[in-house]
Copies of this chain bind each other. A is one copy, B any other.
Amino acid sequence: MKNDKILLSHGSGGRLTHELVETLFKKYFSNPILNTLDDSAELRLGYPGGPRLAFTTDSFVVNPIFFPGGDIGRLSVCGTVNDLAMKGAVPRWIAIAAIIEEGFELATLKKVVLSISKAAREAGVAVVTGDTKVVEKGKADRLFLTTSGLGIIEEGVNVSGKNARAGDEIIINGTIGDHGISVIAARNDFKFSSGLKSDCAPLNNLVKKMLAASKSINVLRDPTRGGLATTLNEIASSSGIGIIIEEKLIPLKNEVRAACGLLGFDPLYVANEGKLVAFAPGASAGKILKTMKSDKLGRTSAIIGKAVSSPKGVWLKTLSGTLRPLMMLEGEQLPRIC
């Protein structure tokens, strides 16, 4: 690594995060389960035919802790539930660890707890264990939550970032960038995005319907930190395929397009918290898309592109018809977005 200190970009979900994972975590913790680098680890209980579990953890340091469409509590449940759902698992149990800054208002903590409770009910998961640590004033920024989750992967489901195949259609369940722009607007008290809300939502019920429509889904992944472009790069790299998406097919709200224009952001790199991309063979993609559109979290679902055997890497067919390479997020666009 060229840097000798941790930069904000190491937490962006982009290139430096991946470098850290490869050169440090994967190197020293290496094992076949970790090495898949999926959103959840897939565990098989140690006997033939034993159940498969999905296990995941995420810390949440979003600033501010309340934003249009959500808060750190709702986010911490949805983020973890979604990581389980992206393995095709049925989320069941979550654990929440809080690191709280001394002086944090108990009334605000109660609001967060109620929000966690509501989101957990919505997702159908139980909070089964937890932990609380308090650090001195100035040693943390109000409240950090770490949520871990456990789900059950049913037989016949085989979803992984390494399972994309050339020919797969790529489906997204709606507009991109809503979460990132909502948080940045709340942080800076921007007025331009009035009415825009984070898409923060548990996706497990949508995924359940999709898998009921077709078990042939190869990949599910939620484009959070680093946005759609970074997520597609992870999938292309894990699966050894190329990806071509079409700009004109990507659902995008006018407010997000306008805000990105003003701020100099590319919406393809802005975080989502209620979006997923699914890769599925052409034969089943239509049926899956129809199912998605019938769900309240998938009304504006669309097929946005295709997996190809070549060229490798991720490519955007722009509105003008040219092919532009889409790399992983470089640097840090929006720190502490989740």
Q: Which A residues are closer than 8 A to B by beta carbons?
A: 1, 3-12, 17, 20-21, 24-25, 28-29, 31, 33-34, 40-41, 43, 45-46, 50-51, 53, 55-61, 92-93, 95-107, 109-110, 113-114, 116-117, 120, 126-136, 138-141, 144, 146, 148, 150, 152, 335-336
Contact = CB atoms under 8 A, between A and B. Distances in A.
A152 B55 CA distance: 14
A110 B4 contact: no
Nearest to A114: B28
Contact of A43 (B11, B144, B150): B150
Nearest to A143: B6
Given A4-B106, A17-B132, A134-B335, 17 more contacts: A1-B106, A3-B106, A6-B104, A11-B134, A24-B109, A25-B127, A28-B113, A29-B113, A33-B93, A51-B51, A55-B95, A56-B95, A57-B96, A57-B129, A58-B131, A135-B336, A139-B140
Contacts of A120: 29
B34 A126 contact: yes
5 contacts: A4-B107, A5-B103, A29-B127, A58-B97, A139-B140
B146 A57 contact: yes
B134 A10 contact: yes
A231 to B, nearest CB: 15
A59 B131 contact: yes
Contacts of A99: 59, 61, 99, 144, 146
A171 B42 CA distance: 38
Contacts of A130: 25, 29, 34, 57
A11 B95 contact: no
A97 B59 contact: yes
Contacts of A133: 11, 59-61, 144, 336
Contact of A7 (B25, B45, B134): B134
B95 A134 contact: no
Contacts of A146: 57, 59, 97, 99, 131, 146, 148
The 8 A-B pairs at the shortest CB distance, nearest first, are namely A11-B134, A146-B146, A41-B128, A148-B148, A57-B95, A29-B127, A41-B129, A139-B141
Contacts of A150: 43, 53, 55, 150
Contacts of A140: 139-141, 144
Nearest to A135: B61
Contact of A11 (B59, B100, B116, B126): B100
A262 B57 CA distance: 42
Given A29-B127, A113-B24, A141-B139, A57 B97 contact: yes
